[in-house]
Amino acid sequence: MAYQFIRVEVGNGNCAFFWHDDWLCMGKLINITGATSTCYLGVPRNAKVSDAVSEGQWKIRGQRSRHYHELHHRGQIDPVPNVSQGPDTTFVEYAYVLNTVCNSTCSYWSLYSSHI
């Protein structure tokens, strides 16, 4: 449940997992593209984001496939991981968490207080 609030800002790409961390603000890529995409794109299941980069460019196969067009487009927008960008940063979207908790608490309190 908490995973949906965790984001990774990629710096050098050495800590963020390519398939299992939300580093493109799209969710887990493995959930979006499916398990077979690891073979199709040539990025191993447990690869770090930096493992998908070579000589300052993405080294991902299947770039012409319509199924992965959005993934490739996002990869072109975001900067390629680089040692000069520093380490990856993991953070929690507290505002969203607090809003969700407050809404749930308020709904519960309204329901509870109507029965008192």
Q: Where are the beta strands (DSSP E) in 12-72?
A: 53-54, 57-58
**What is the share, in percent, of the chain residues with pLDDT greater than 70?**
70
Place of tokens 């000589």: 55
The whole-number pLDDT of residue 2 equals 65
Helices (H), 29-93: 29-33, 37-41, 69-77
Provide the pLDDT for residue 5: 76
pLDDT of residue 95 exceeding 90 = no
Residue 12 has pLDDT above 50, yes or no: yes
- State the pLDDT at residue 110: 44
Question: Which is nearest to 86 in space by CA: 9, 20, 24?
Answer: 9
Q: The tokens of 45 are what?
A: 């299941």
Mean pLDDT of 35-42: 86
Amino acid in position 38? T
Mean pLDDT value of segment 74-84: 80
Q: Cα(92)–Cα(71) distance, rounded to whole angstroms?
A: 23
Of the listed ranges 39-53, 68-82, 90-104, the least confidently predicted one is 90-104
What distance in Å separates the CA atoms of residue 6 and residue 64, rounded to the nearest whole number?
A: 30
